[in-house]
């Protein structure tokens, strides 16, 4: 409790500026030199092409009005819940976690012992104790290695998604996100920012009706990256949407923002390409009681049943010959 008349150290999220102010053509995108100037004729052609293509992240004033970019300590935000990034034992020593523990008080450490850890990509919730925030959502980001990039992307997506899912289940109005991918875990800042921004955007589109304010709390190192990439996923005008379209990465995830892994997509053919229809096979299938003419129906089936049919004289001579050839 602050002394009477003393200024509170906590920051009211409702007083922070939101990401909904429209921008002109010359915005941060141009300042970052994403693409060089082309000849006037080529620029006109590009503009005409962009005008005919819709961005997967369209201009949404209602969503932009929920987004806040805050350069400061997430532990000081006065909102429904803030996010803490930690390790699997929830004992990580990093600037974000240390600040949260310092402001929340010793009760938080005792509460975390009851949780018995948290797996990578998961999210668990505790009270906020002495914080202005009512709850703390703890999550564990992945350790990044280029060799296992796909796994790291999926785990980081799960962190943001599971935090937001908890917020939805508890009807939270405002959430303050720290940067989950800490320096200790070696995740490239720009790659991690893409995942964070698109996951939050998709969640707000599909499930964010109860969330009124979502704060990205960043440091001096991360703020330029967030300001550069925010217009790609949260364009503040139709013009900014068109400018951002060619700057989006190739992989923008699925409808929920989850990274798409081609190796996991199952492709099932109706039948093998080189499989030729055999009238005798159809006759055999009919005799054996098999249904359909696809590849799975051409498997051996129940051998005991086939032997029983032979003994009973119920298999045709042609079918018996075909069966003998197969064996």
The angle subtended at Cα 126 by Cα 123 and Cα 131, nearest 5°, is: 120
* Residue 234: closest CA among 278, 267, 194: 194
Q: How far apart are CA 134 and CA 122, in angstroms?
A: 20
| pLDDT at residue 181, as a whole number | 87
Q: How far apart are CA 223 and CA 88, in angstroms?
A: 27
Q: How far apart are CA 276 and CA 141, in angstroms?
A: 52
| pLDDT at residue 7, as a whole number | 53
| pLDDT at residue 21, as a whole number | 72
Tokens of 172: 């939270």
Q: How far apart are CA 50 and CA 53, in angstroms?
A: 5
Set out the domains of the chain in order of their start, with CATH numbers: 11-264 (3.40.220.10), 279-326 (no CATH)
| pLDDT at residue 182, as a whole number | 80
Q: Collect the ranges in the chain with pLDDT lower than 50.
A: 1, 3-6, 24-41, 50, 267-272, 275-300
| pLDDT at residue 315, as a whole number | 52
Q: How far apart are CA 189 and CA 155, in angstroms?
A: 15
**pLDDT tens digit string along 49-95?**
545 578 999 999 999 999 999 999 999 999 999 999 999 999 999 99
> Which alpha helices (H) appear in the chain, and where do they start and end?
28-31, 40-51, 61-64, 95-104, 106-115, 149-169, 189-207, 223-233, 238-244, 279-288, 303-311, 317-326
| Residue 30 C-beta-side C-alpha neighbours within 13 Å | 8
Neighbours of 193 (CB within 10 A): 23
Q: How far apart are CA 226 and CA 267, in angstroms?
A: 37
| pLDDT at residue 49, as a whole number | 53
> Which pTM does this prediction carry?
0.73
Q: How far is CA 25 from each of CA 45, 50, 224, 242, rounded to the nearest angstrom?
A: 17, 14, 19, 10
Q: How far is CA 290 from each of CA 173, 190, 281, 294, 299, rounded to the nearest angstrom?
A: 58, 56, 11, 10, 9
């Amino acid at each position: 409790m602050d002394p009477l008349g003393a200024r509170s150290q906590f920051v009211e999220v409702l007083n922070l500026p939101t990401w909904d102010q429209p921008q002109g053509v010359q915005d941060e995108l141009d300042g970052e030199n994403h693409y060089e100037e082309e000849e006037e004729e080529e620029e006109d052609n590009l503009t005409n092409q962009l005008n005919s293509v819709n961005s997967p992240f369209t201009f949404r004033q209602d969503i932009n009005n929920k987004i806040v970019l805050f350069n400061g300590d997430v532990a000081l935000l006065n909102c429904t819940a803030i996010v803490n990034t930690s390790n699997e034992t929830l004992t990580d020593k990093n600037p974000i976690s240390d600040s949260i523990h310092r402001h929340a008080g010793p009760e938080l450490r005792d509460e975390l012992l009851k949780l018995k850890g948290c797996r990578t990509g998961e999210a668990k919730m505790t009270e906020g104790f002495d914080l202005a925030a009512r709850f703390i959502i703890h999550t564990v980001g992945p350790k990044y290695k280029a060799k296992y990039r796909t796994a790291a992307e999926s785990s980081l997506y799960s962190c943001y998604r599971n935090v937001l899912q908890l917020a939805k289940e508890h009807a939270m109005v405002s959430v303050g996100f720290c940067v989950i991918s800490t320096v200790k875990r070696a995740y490239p800042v720009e790659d991690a920012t893409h995942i964070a921004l698109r996951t939050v955007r998709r969640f707000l589109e599909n499930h964010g009706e109860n969330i009124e304010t979502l704060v990205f709390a960043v440091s001096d190192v991360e703020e330029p990256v967030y300001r550069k990439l925010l217009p790609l996923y949260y364009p503040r005008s139709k013009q900014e949407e068109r400018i951002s379209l060619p700057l989006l990465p190739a992989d923008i995830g699925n409808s929920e923002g989850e990274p798409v892994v081609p190796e996991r997509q199952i492709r099932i053919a109706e039948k093998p390409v080189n499989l030729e229809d055999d009238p005798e096979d159809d006759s055999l299938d009919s005799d054996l009681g098999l249904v359909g003419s696809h590849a799975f129906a051409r498997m051996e089936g129940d051998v005991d049943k086939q032997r029983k049919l032979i003994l009973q004289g119920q298999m045709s001579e042609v079918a018996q010959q075909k069966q003998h050839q197969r064996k």
